[in-house]
Amino acid sequence: MRLHDFRALSFDCYGTLIDWESGIFTALQPLLARSGQSLSRDAALETFAQHESAQEEETPALVYAELLATVHRRLAKAWNVTVSESDHARFGASVPDWPAFPDSPAALAYLKQHYRLVILSNVDRESFKGSNRRLGVEFDAIYTAQDIGSYKPNPRNFDYMLTHTAARGIAKTDILHTAQSLFHDHGPAKKFGLASAWIDRRHDQSGWGATMAPPKEAGYDFRFPSLAAMADAHRAEVSAT
């Protein structure tokens, strides 16, 4: 299996293209400061992951900005902090402020020359617009949790993407699903028979950060420490042919 065997890359965005862990941790600072918690970055992110995952299962149709505000409310309760509704809403609206990984724009610009690019993301359309401006590339298709009415790893999200990409003439065998989260993406991708590339952004860290631990059946076909490394691997393949 080679990278240039594929015609399209379907991307998770947050954790893969956008540094959501830095964005989340920065946006949590006011709440953490009021709580007096001396949590490490990873401990705070792991607590976020537990509440976010639970909330996505409980309210799959809730728009992500509102879901984040609800998660912030849950964290405030867990950490025994009283804050205003505007504080919860501010956290919910923080997605456009989350930074892109430094390599994402250039790597995407290169990959755009060789693939059709698709987003499959646990986000709402308005929040993604802010992130897209940071990435600086025009995606061929954007499928959000708001469009689908559920959150990954729900299989509905992958079924929706595959149905819509097929309508665009892109077969499942044409797609390489490219993502950081083994929990949200690589587990369900394998069940659907999708080839996948793990962008292991946490390769130099322990634990799972802002995502839940992956299922045992999660697998992948390629592994890269960054999107830049994936683009470099593609260049090497092309130069070798």
Which are the catalytic amino acids?
12
**CA atoms within 13 Å, Cβ hemisphere of 175:** 27
Cα 165 to Cα 110, 116, 120, 125: the distances in Å are: 21, 10, 11, 18
Using alpha carbons, list the distances in angstroms from residue 150 to 52, 143, 147: 13, 11, 8
104, 105, 109, 111: CA torsion to nearest 10? 10
Q: Of 195, 196, 192, 199, which is closest to residue 162 (Cα–Cα)?
A: 192
